[in-house]
Amino acid sequence: MAIAEQAFVLGILETPVGPVPQVATVCAGRDRWGALRVRLGFGRMRYTVEPGLYGVGAPQEDSPVLVTANYKLSFDHLRAALVGLNAWVLVLDTNGINVWCAAGKGTFGTIALCAQVAASRLDQLVRHRRLIVPQLGAPGIAAHAVKQQSGFSVVYGPAMARHLPEFLGRGMQATPVMRRKTFSLLERAVLIPVEVVVACKWALPLSLVLYVASGLLGSASFGENLRELGAWTMVGLWSGIVAGTVLTPLLLPVLPGRAFSLKGGVAGLMVVLVFLAVFFSRSGTSGNGLTGLAWLLLIPAIASFLGMEFTGASTYTSLSGVKKEMRLAVPFQVAAVLCGMLLLIWARRLQ
Amino acid sequence: MTGRGRLLYLKGVATLRLEQEACIGCGMCLTVCPQDVFAMEHGKKVRISEPDACMECGACTMNCPVGAIWVQSGVGCAQAVFNTMLGRSSEACCSLEGKPDGGSCC
């Protein structure tokens, strides 16, 4: 799509370097719908804006230049923060990846930034020689190298776009709050849908297989087995998934330990206690002890694995730490799942 | 679990190293660090005040003009570790080799 034909472009700004698209600072219904879709994990890798130069408000030769990635969710957060301000926005081509991840991979980097500065002829557009780069872009940008190669100095802006008006109002000074990446309850909660959807990709087919297997393996008729054994198997499996993908993110700071696999495992233990209480009060068949023991292993193991997966969405885990906890936790998770499955089958045979 | 009311990851694993003699006290690492790992000593040299808070993003190493900081940078993502082990670098999700295209991790 041509850069000026994108839905969020209000009009064209005539500038010394030619026409520049002027973008809206108010997100429309389709932007909110798009944000909802990618928050649910659909089409996240194709949610992009055209890289290049944009204007917000009525920018002049002394207006600030803000740099961002071409993931549309990042771009929308940025322009929504710029209500009533005049600024230039320089969008780097990061293949639709957000600033922080793209910086880690190097696509939001010194070379790409200098190339875009040159391609957009910024030196003829603005009188100053400053680029405001998001602080979370720093893993890909060497400020001193950008200065050397492009003549522009890098000023690291706040970690979050919403702090930009205050940052600009203070003469481009960041407060300590603006420099820290937090991981609040709300910031964790918005990540839950993606975690659930990603887990569903293997959990839904697995559910179907286990449900049918329950029907075939039980001691009664196929239909009766589905209603009793099949139903409990579904409740057990999804208790583990909910503990790992919903409870672990929500309760992260209060769950004991530092390792995410441990936090997930504890969330699984909390859930399995509720599960067993209901299971033993409702289910009247023999072999209950073994089945209960099986779920005592299975649910925390599933939750522990999914809790560990949440490291990727979190804001403070290191690769060294993730590798260490995986070396310790994965053998336990695998052993618990194998033992749990064997116990479940054994419990069937005893009936 | 928390120090000064914040989330901290595993103890003693971060690969962050600082060569304090080389430090010129420009404070760039304090600016770019999203986890408040560094502190300025007497306004002259930086020290690592919170090593366990380091998430190995590599922002400090990239932006230290005198190369006084070193960290083995990477993404702290279990799925990326799995993908790398399974040899999936460009499909499903991101991997440690950092193929930017394709993926559902970040």
- Give A125-175 as a DSSP string: H-SS-EEEEEGGGTTT--HHHHHHHHSPEEEEE-SSGGGHHHHHHTTS---
- Give A154's strand partners: A131
The pair of structure tokens assigned to B84 is: 């790398």
The torsion angles phi and psi of A238, rounded to 5 degrees, stand at -75, -20
**A98-151 residue pLDDT tens:** 999 999 988 999 999 999 999 999 999 999 999 999 999 999 999 999 999 999
Burial grade of A207 (CB within 10 A; 0-12, 13-18, 19 or more)? middle
Q: Check CB contact of B83 with chain A, cutoff 8 Å.
A: no
**pLDDT level of residue A284 (50, 70, 90 thresholds):** low
Q: Is A8 helix (H, G, I), strand (E, B) or coil?
A: coil
Inter-chain CB proximity B9 and A321 less than 8 Å? yes
**pLDDT level of residue B70 (50, 70, 90 thresholds):** very high
On the question of pLDDT at B91 being above 90, the answer is no
Q: Calculate mean pLDDT across residues B52-67.
A: 96
Chain A: residue nearest B79 by CA?
A309
Q: Check CB contact of B48 with chain A, cutoff 8 Å.
A: no
**pLDDT level of residue B1 (50, 70, 90 thresholds):** very low
Residue scoring higher pLDDT (A228 or A55): A55
**pLDDT level of residue A276 (50, 70, 90 thresholds):** very high
Please report the pLDDT score of residue B95 as a whole number: 57
On the question of pLDDT at A254 being above 60, the answer is yes
Chain B: residue nearest A173 by CA?
B31
Inter-chain CB proximity B11 and A258 less than 8 Å? yes
**pLDDT level of residue A299 (50, 70, 90 thresholds):** very high
> pTM for the whole thing?
0.89
- The full length of chain B comes to 106
Cα B76–Cα B33–Cα A110 angle in degrees, nearest 5: 85
Inter-chain CB proximity B73 and A104 less than 8 Å? yes
User: Lowest-confidence range among A126-130, A248-252, B39-43?
Assistant: B39-43
Contact residues on chain A for B1, CB-CB shorter than 8 A: 253, 256-258
**pLDDT level of residue A300 (50, 70, 90 thresholds):** very high
On the question of pLDDT at A57 being above 70, the answer is yes
Q: Across the interface, which of B1, B54, B94 has its CB nearest the CB of A318?
A: B54
On the question of pLDDT at A205 being above 60, the answer is yes
Mean pLDDT of chain A: 93
On the question of pLDDT at A51 being above 50, the answer is yes
On the question of pLDDT at B96 being above 70, the answer is no
Contact residues on chain B for A41, CB-CB shorter than 8 A: 104
What's chain B's Rg over C-alpha atoms? Answer: 16
The whole-angstrom separation of Cα B85 and Cα A313 is: 19
Q: Check CB contact of B106 with chain A, cutoff 8 Å.
A: yes
On the question of pLDDT at B30 being above 50, the answer is yes
Q: What is the 3-state secondary structure (H, E, C) of A289-319?
A: HHHHHHHHHHHHHHHHHHHHHHHHCCCCCCH
The amino acid at residue A261 is S
The whole-angstrom separation of Cα B16 and Cα B9 is: 14
On the question of pLDDT at B44 being above 80, the answer is yes
DSSP string covering A175-212: -HHHHS----HHHHHTTHHHHHHHHHHHHHHHHHHHHH
Contact residues on chain B for A105, CB-CB shorter than 8 A: 94, 98-100
**pLDDT level of residue B97 (50, 70, 90 thresholds):** low
On the question of pLDDT at A182 being above 60, the answer is yes
Contact residues on chain A for B57, CB-CB shorter than 8 A: 100, 103-104, 138-139
Please report the pLDDT score of residue A179 as a whole number: 93
Inter-chain CB proximity A318 and B77 less than 8 Å? no
Please report the pLDDT score of residue A280 as a whole number: 87
